[in-house]
Amino acid sequence: MTAPTLPGDRPALRTPALALTATAVLSALALGAAVAVAPHTARDALLW
């Protein structure tokens, strides 16, 4: 277990950056899958 941060200390930015990057990648994959599965007429609306 890691020691708690002392008052006034800031946590490293690596953890939030990693979470945001993982979320962005998963969102992009989900959008790509939705566009690939969507009918041709709906693809323009999804891509816009």
Locate the domains of the chain by residue range: 15-47
User: Quick one: pLDDT at residue 48?
Assistant: 67
Q: How far apart are CA 37 and CA 27, in angstroms?
A: 15
Cα diameter, the chain: 56
**What does the block give as tokens for 10?**
């800031």
Q: What is the pLDDT of residues 1-48, one digit of tens each?
A: 788 878 877 777 787 899 999 999 999 999 889 888 988 888 777 766
Give the contacts of 34 (CB within 8 A, at least 6 positions apart).
Answer: 46
Q: How far apart are CA 37 and CA 5, in angstroms?
A: 46
